Structure 1
Amino acid sequence: MSGVPGEFASVRKLLLGRMDGLTPGERKVARALLAQYPTVGLTTAAQLAAAADVSAPTVIRFATRLGFEGFPGLQRALLHELHSEGGSPLVQYEEKPPAYPQGILRGTRQAFVDMIDASYDGIPESEFSALVDLLSDTSRAVCLVGGRFSHVLADYLLLHLRLLRTGVRMVGEDEADRLVAVADAGTQSVFVMFDYRRYTDANLRLAQAVSRRGATVALMTDNWLSPIAKVSKVVLPCRVQSASPFDSLVVAMAVTESLVAGVAGALGEGGRARLTLIESVSLDD
């Protein structure tokens, strides 16, 4: 017996399946646990609370809401999972990059396919749908922010969103641009932050500043979770491991494409009408 409530095969799958029913504080606990899974769940309730930036009672309520007999019940399920999977080739594969006897091209192709599958399985549908809803709400102003490499993802999303709706802008690295973005931020603002490991301190400060002004922060990050997660209402994590010395944005780009598809579908005829208008506009007299 795994000790996991319901029909879920693991605590991880339980968290992903129940994310939508958690309170904002409990959702922070779930994200912290997923980011350092399962080890942080095997510490004390106070330590998990510190990792999630919530109170210890919130951690206990979180465990109970999931159906466990308190925090000890959650830990027993995690220990059972750890002992059951400790020798799994899949777990070792994730911890240690595999060799590619079939060659780099074919080997990395399969590695990226596996990464996409694992990442999409790890994204709660409720979180994805929430971000699509935010980006499709044309009453909201959308600001996109990237990092050293991830700015290409922000740029890519910008190029598509502005074809489908108005009120989308990029926030650059320039300090004046960021100060204006903070001044303009309010309850009808959505800031989509792309932040992957070797996280950007400047982006964290920006996210904290706009959050204090009432803006909704949505985070695109890796499976370890950027510190921006602590002020984010929506978090979409994905894997970034690569065969090269550099982290990969392959999965992050795929998730960005999924967001574009979701927004296009949600806007429907409105998005189509805007695209038609843009293509019909002429700059000639």
Structure 2
Amino acid sequence: MTGDDGRTGRGGVPASGEVAERAGASASGKVSAGSAAGKAGAGSAAGEGAEVFVSVAERVRRSLDGSSPGERLVARTLLASYPTAGLETAARLAERAGVSAPTVVRFVARLGFAGYRAFQQALRDEIEARRASPLTLAQQLGDGVTPDSLRVSAGAIFRQRLDESFAALSDPELEAVLDLLADPARRIAMIGGRFSHILAEYLDLHLRLLRPGTRVLDPRPESLAAFSVDVGRRDVIVVFDYRRYQRDVVEFARRVHERGAKVVLFTDPWLSPASEAADLVIPVRVEAPSPFDSLVPALALVETVVAGVMARLGKEGEERLRQCEEIVGDVTVD
């Protein structure tokens, strides 16, 4: 699969997680489920003792709730100029945030890093992972793979990515997404990149059977411009954007956020720049057996969201679905 930006393909880091691990154990991004819940606000879906991947960007974003006022200033400064602000010296970052250098050091330690140097190394590795493409990533399956070994190896990799994605998922964040999408007073619009647009269409195909007021946006510039003029506080914009990130999608997310719309972002662990404008962020793993990124975990999460919205709507959703089915009629083939 080529990249969402349409210029290069999208690829995954090696299944071993070596990009993250090069920063050392304390900066690897791999933490236990209990630690992820305590330090990064991860949901309770992770099993006890399970290792999950939480990127630097996601750790910073999740730290906002439990941080001191000074640490929140550091976090917001990082997210506003991510990741470049974190590559500056601790003193310069402190100056940007209007806090002391020790506050920056305490914040970095609170994120789980052994020191500021380990934090910066993790950031550099994350930048490398964000820019990955099929031209820079290795095939996970060796040459001469047999059909049987392909089935076993690929199946194991996909199961691992699904387990990691759901273990790292924040329950409060997911609940908030479901609340927005099931609210009949909200208008729901969806958009994705060159390839992730299929996820937007897939989600809309289900939501429109359960509730009114949903649509997939026409990605042409003139159509997005016209929509942006009319957008307001009643609107929820669901954005799908995975590495490499698509400039027009990111800019659109920022624009509708400025006009008061709620932005829900589905992205990868390294976080699309659209996360700066997002009210809620749902990251999933994207690595695959081939050098091309996978939408399998993302699709599983979309299915999860559909199930959650259906449960929230209850009888009202079932009745709308029944009426839609009656109008469509029997289209099955015996």
TM score, norm. by length of structure 1: 0.74
User: Which string of whole-angstrom CA distances, capped at 9 and with x for unpartnered residues, describes residues 106-138 of structure 1?
Assistant: 101000100011111111111111111110011
Matched with 1:207 is: 253
Matched with 2:271 is: 225
* RMSD value, Cα: 3.8
Matched with 1:88 is: none
Matched with 1:257 is: 303
Q: Distance in 1 between matches of 2:254 and 2:284?
A: 22
Q: Which runs of 5+ in 1 are unaligned?
A: 64-68, 84-93
2:167 pairs with 1:121: yes
Matched with 1:71 is: 107
CA shift in 2, pair 1:140/1:27, >3 Å: farther
Q: Distance in 2 between matches of 1:166 and 1:139?
A: 10
Letter in 1 for 2:320: R
Matched with 1:266 is: 312
CA shift in 2, pair 1:253/1:58, >3 Å: farther
Contact 1:141–1:168 (Cα < 8 Å) also in 2:
yes
Contact 2:36–2:168 (Cα < 8 Å) also in 1:
no
2:44 pairs with 1:16: no
Give runs of aligned pairs for residues 97-176 of structure 1, distance below 5 A: 98-99=140-141, 103-176=149-222
Shift of 1:44: 2.9
Q: Distance in 1 between matches of 2:226 and 2:180?
A: 22
Q: Which SS does the other structure have where 2:237 is aligned?
A: strand
Contact 2:140–2:290 (Cα < 8 Å) also in 1:
no
Shift of 1:204: 1.1
Q: Distance in 2 between matches of 1:107 and 1:21?
A: 39
Q: Which SS does the other structure have where 1:196 is aligned?
A: coil
Q: Which SS does the other structure have where 2:114 is aligned?
A: helix
Q: Which runs of 5+ in 2 are unaligned?
A: 1-25, 27-31, 43-61, 119-128, 130-136, 330-334
TM score, norm. by length of structure 2: 0.64
Identity of aligned residues (%): 33
Matched with 1:245 is: 291
CA shift in 2, pair 1:245/1:73, >3 Å: closer
Of 129-138 and 169-178, the range deviating more from structure 2: 169-178
CA shift in 2, pair 1:169/1:282, >3 Å: closer
Matched with 1:90 is: none
Q: Distance in 1 between matches of 2:219 and 2:259?
A: 20
Contact 1:165–1:271 (Cα < 8 Å) also in 2:
yes
Q: Distance in 1 between matches of 2:314 and 2:37?
A: 34
Q: Which SS does the other structure have where 1:137 is aligned?
A: coil
